[in-house]
A and B are shown apart, each in its own frame.
Chain A
Amino acid sequence: MPDMQSLTRARRLVALAARLVPARLRDEWRAEWEGELAAAAESPNARLVRYASGSFSDAFWLRQRDVADLQLIDDLHHGFRYWRQQSGFVLTAIGILALSMAASVTAFSVVSQILLRPLPYHAPERIMTLWERVPAQSERQYVAPGNFLDWRARATSFTQMASAEPYSFDYAGGDRPIVVKAMLVSEGFFDIFGLPPLAGRYFLPEEHKKGNNRVVVLTERFWRAQFNGDAAIVGKTIAIDDGAFLVAGVVSKDFQPHFQEYVPGDRDLYAAKAIEDYEPRIRVSGYWGVAARLKDGVSIEQARAEMDAISLGIERENPRTNKGVRAEVVDLREHLVGDVRPAVTLFGAAVFAVLLIACVNVTNLLLARGASRQQELAVRTALGAHRGRLVGQLLVETLMLATAASVTALVLAQLAMRALADWGPPEVMWIDSLHVDAWAIGFAMLLAFAVTLTAGLVPAMRLSGLGLQAPGQRTMTGDRSQRHLRSALVIAEVAMALMLVSGTGLLLRSFVNLLDVDTGFNRDGVMVVQMFAWDRNPGPAALRSFHDRVTAKVASIPGVDTVGVVQAMPFIESNIDIQGSMRLIGQPPPQPGEEIRASYNVASPNYFAALGVRPLKGRLLDDRDGPASPRVVVVSEAFAARYLRDIEPIGQRLEIRAQGKPIQTEIVGVIPSLRHDRLDQPARAEVLMPFAQSPTGSLTMVARTSIDPATLIETTKREIWAIDPLQTFYRTATLDELVDRTLITRRFALIVLTGFAALALLLAAAGLYGVLSTIASQYRKEIGVRMALGAAWLDILQLVVKRGLIVSAVGVGVGLVGVIGGARLLRSFLFSVTPTDPIAIGGAALLMLTIAMIACYIPARRAAGEDPVQALRVD
């Protein structure tokens, strides 16, 4: 006999199920189940709990039967029954909706989790970043130390202004010394953000004095990785460079001011900055990030006006360096995520278009299905269902589709966001933390309702209206107004698909143009190893010796052909553009504002060989140019074009102020311009001095290899450690990797938009195919008559194809108008292509029409191939 416990449990189940039973039946229903349970408990081995679980099915049955009580259940029941019969249609509709809704949810999450992410600081809207706006540069620039110091001294709009200078140290706490990426921050930097330290404290004012500034604040990431997150490290010292630095505190990983970071959060520590004596004099080649906090009551416009006035004053005092240089005040959020906005706008538009196309397709599917349900609906009307009831039922069916699609979409969106985190552009803040959150789920539910209304309302209204027709009634060519409606929907689809395909075409053309950009060097088979050797090799002689030993050692590695060295390596992340002050000797002094502002670089003779660079004029730097030889330089083509227009470069004498001293040099050669930053930015006007004559500790070794350069990096490090076991490596890579890194964002944009365009094309083709199939089948009788009267196979084909092509051509026409209107969105993604590029847009239109032709041809051929006798027999 079953124990009392399972009887109690069974009773509880029944009590729970009783809640589902309509109130007026509930008491009796429950009494019956109580009685049955008691009877069942008498018999041995009765499984009471399992028995009681059947009460749910019983209760559901009563509930769904109780139409007056709740109509929705009945509609759902209808919906499920309909689904079982139409699983092909249902899966198609859910698939179409799920894909486009997943794209929408992903786009929404990017906006809510990146663009609108709450900043973890105190009153973040009052935190500003300051930049230099320099004539002839399209982007805002980092700030030169001299300008920052003047701004800080003069501005009254801010409670605090501070700088952050990118820096690196060697940290010797591990097995091998490693490079730690740091920021030297000036007084008050952390106060601007108002984020409390995770442990310890930030810097004291006196720690920004020279000699007192051997103190650091660790980032949470570095603290956890190196010290296991042990708070005891605070107040102790750690070995940095050749000395001991006090650890003042730890800053949370939420703190990401994102200055000079190639990947957000790549900093290991912050160190206290003491202003050097020479820094107030540096007014070109800015490399400091500047942050400030607005005083209460001061608006950003007031601050901008004040900074403009201050910039003018500085320009008057320093006309040579500061001509046209202005301070730009940008709020922190704009600085952090402003770059992402055009991409989000573009993808938002693409996603919206795909979603609309999907809705249109589902509308079309519902209309097409509806035609075959006319009979069912007519019967229901005849049996007394009023129109509102039918509309409700049809909408509930669509809502069920949309809900199933939104659940699928959430799963797909989570996958898409993981993919974004792994393969998306890493310089986008917070991209690695994207996930489906409560907002995304809410948005997906909202989408389901919106889709239901967009895709479901028109078919529901129309079909319920049609229900009054007598069942079985047929016209020769079907319902004309419905055909018009469906054609209009296809026109909309084709137009939107054309816009997406054109946009993709423009991006593709930009990308191809970009890959065709002449970098001036051969990027294949080159290994790049960046080191800083100043501290361990003080003085020119020591640097020369280190250079000679290291290049000889690396050149002896099997697989390495040529080893050169350069100071500012093209495409490497920390390629600081040092602009020296220069003048041509024996030429008339330049007009104000036309002074030479060129990048100053140092290279060894083999640098050119390693990059495959040949001289355009004169010669390259070579072994003749030793420490004691006359001082020489080579200049880039861009330099010659800008400053030596009417002057023969070779033999021309150039005075360069480097490290404070003027040096007279002779130009011995002109080389092709090497791109330094990105393929879409112009080449630098560059002057290269021989390493032997201007030794530098900022060394990037460039080796041309006969085997895959990536495989040689570890060997190279080991060989260099054999010379100096404490040498660290700031960056090791292949040149190909470095160039490719700058293409990630564009490639990514291209891939995403291609995906959307392909989906749009497919959906539009499917929509066209569906409509033409219906038209063709509705025309069967007419076609039969025509064929019986002697129309040729080709005539029939033409008849159907023509209809399809008219619809597609109208769609393409509407789409072209949209393309011209929407080109604005694309402008910032284009390179050497106008937004109305005829090749891209014409190609897209041609592709669209071809696909449309194929989509028309299949139903047309089927119609034309039919036996006229069969066709005439239709109904």
Chain B
Amino acid sequence: MRLTYPTALVLQALLDGHHHGFDIMDATGLPSGTVYPILRRLDAEGCVRSRWEKEGLARKEQRPPRRYYELTAGGRQLAAEARGKASALAHAGRRLLAGSEG
């Protein structure tokens, strides 16, 4: 699948232990209209799996239950790849900047 920058951010957030939509938005700074379609796509590609949180927890806090996302093995691999690409990009960017200055 295509690895866009926002996808990489979402993967990183999942890797960092954010598991709900709103938390991922908070962590990445991406708007909801971007985060959810990415989660759906990752779900469709088998990179994340989702389940509903325990009923009891939600009832105790008097709110509706939330959906819980976590990376699959494939997802973790993709996240690692994304991180590698991001660092390669950052590296290339630095080189370019250095070149233009020199």
The 0/1 profile, CB within 8 Å of B marked 1, for residues 427-439 of chain A is: 0000000000000
Contacts of B36 on A, CB cut-off 8 Å? Answer: 54-55, 57-58, 61
Contact (A32, B44) CB under 8 Å given A39-B66, A54-B35, A58-B33 = no
A38-B64 contact, Cβ under 8 Å, with A32-B21, A57-B37, A65-B44: yes
Chain B residues with CB below 8 A from A35, complex form? 58, 63-67
Residue interface mask B51-77, A partner, CB < 8 A = 1? 000000010000111110000000000
Contacts of A58 in B (CB 8 A): 32-33, 36-37, 40
In A81-117, the 8 Å CB interface with B consists of none
Residue of chain B at shortest CB distance from A52: B32
Contacts of A31-62 to chain B: CB distance below 8 A: 31-32, 34-36, 38-40, 42-43, 50-58, 60-62
The answer to whether B34 touches A31, judged by C-beta atoms less than 8 angstroms apart, is no
Give the distance in Å from the alpha carbon of A60 to the alpha carbon of B41 in the complex.
Answer: 12
Q: Mark B22-51, 1 if CB is under 8 A from A, else 0.
A: 100110000111111100110010000000
The listed residue with most B CB atoms (<10 A of its CB), out of A32, A40, A43, A65, is A32
Q: Contact between A61 and B20 (Cβ–Cβ < 8 Å)?
A: no
Which one of B20, B33, B58 has the greatest number of beta carbons of chain A within 10 Å?
Answer: B33
A60 to B34, alpha carbons, bound, how many Å? Answer: 11
Q: How far is the CA of A34 from the CA of B21 in the complex (A)?
A: 12
- Closest CB of chain B to A4's CB: distance in Å? 14
**Interface of chain A, main secondary structure:** helix
Whose C-beta in chain B lies nearest to the C-beta of A62?
B40
Query: Complex Cα distance A35/B68, Å?
Result: 11
**Alpha-carbon gap, A62 to B66, bound state (A):** 19
Point out which of A40, A50, A58, A62 has the most chain B C-beta atoms below 10 A from its C-beta: A58
Complex Cα distance A36/B21, Å?
Answer: 7
Cα separation A280 to B40 with both chains bound (whole Å): 93
Give chain B nearest CB distance to A27 CB in angstroms: 12
When the two chains form their complex, are residues A54 and B34 in contact, meaning their CB atoms are under 8 A apart? yes
Which chain A residues border B32 with CB–CB below 8 Å?
36, 51-55, 57-58
Give chain B residues whose Cβ lies under 8 Å from the Cβ of A52: 32
B40 touches A54 (CB 8 A): no
How far, in whole Å, are A52 and B33 apart by their CA atoms in the complex?
A: 8
- Alpha-carbon separation in the docked complex, A34 to B58 (Å): 12
| Residues of B with C-beta under 8 A to A31 | 64-65
Contacts of A60 in B (CB 8 A): 37
Contact A32 B67 (CB under 8 A): yes
Query: Please, how many residues of chain A have a CB less than 8 angstroms from a CB on the other chain?
Result: 23
Cβ A34 vs Cβ B37 within 8 A: no
Residues of A within 8 Å of B20, CB to CB, are 36, 39
> A32-B66, A32-B67, A39-B63 in contact; A57/B21 too (CB < 8 A)?
no
The interface residues of chain B lying within 8 Å CB-to-CB of A62 are 40
User: A58 vs B38: C-alpha distance in the bound complex, in angstroms?
Assistant: 9
Question: Contacts A39-B20, A54-B33 known; A34 to B40 CB distance under 8 Å?
Answer: no
A57 contacts B33, C-beta separation under 8 Å: yes
Once bound together, how far apart are the Cα atoms of A55 and B35, in whole Å? Answer: 10
User: Residue-by-residue, is A155-179 near B (CB-CB < 8 Å gives 1, otherwise 0)?
Assistant: 0000000000000000000000000
Name the CB-closest residue of B to A34: B64
**Residues of chain B lying within 8 A (CB to CB) of residue A38:** 63-64
**Which A residues touch B35, using CB under 8 A?**
54
Complex CA–CA separation, A100 to B14 (angstroms) = 54
Q: Which of chain A's residues 223-263 have a Cβ closer than 8 Å to chain B?
A: none
Which residues from A are CB-within-8-Å of B65?
31, 35
In the bound complex, CA of A40 to CA of B63 (Å)? 11
B21–A56 touching, CB < 8 Å: no
Chain B residue nearest to A60 (CB atoms) is B37
Bound-complex Cα distance A31 to B36 (A): 14
Looking at B32, B44, B66, the one whose CB has the most chain A CB atoms below 10 A away is: B32
A53 CA / B44 CA spacing, docked (Å) = 23
A61 x B40 contact (CB < 8 A): yes
In whole angstroms, how far apart are the Cα atoms of A56 and B36 in the complex?
A: 10
With both chains docked as a complex, state the minimum distance between the C-beta of B62 and any C-beta of chain A, in angstroms. Answer: 9
CB distance from B86 to the nearest CB of A (A): 24
The CA-CA distance from A57 to B44 in the complex, in Å, is: 16
Contacts of A34 in B (CB 8 A): 64
Least CB separation from A32: chain B residue: B67
Kindly list chain A residues whose C-beta atoms are within 8 Å of the C-beta of B21: 32, 36
Measured between beta carbons, the chain B residues less than 8 angstroms from A50 are: 31
When C-beta atoms are compared, the residue in chain A nearest to B63 turns out to be A38
The 5 A-B residue pairs with the shortest CB-CB distance in the complex, in nearest-first order: A54-B32, A57-B33, A54-B33, A58-B36, A61-B37
Can you list 13 residue pairs at the A/B interface with Cβ under 8 Å? Answer: A31-B65, A34-B64, A36-B67, A42-B63, A43-B26, A50-B31, A54-B32, A57-B34, A57-B36, A58-B36, A61-B36, A65-B40, A65-B44
Where the two chains meet, the residues of B that have a C-beta atom closer than 8 Å to any C-beta of A are 20-22, 25-26, 31-37, 40-41, 44, 58, 63-67
Contacts A34-B64, A36-B21, A43-B26 given; 15 further ones with Cβ under 8 A? Answer: A31-B64, A31-B65, A32-B21, A35-B58, A38-B63, A39-B63, A40-B22, A50-B31, A51-B32, A54-B35, A58-B33, A58-B40, A61-B40, A65-B40, A65-B44
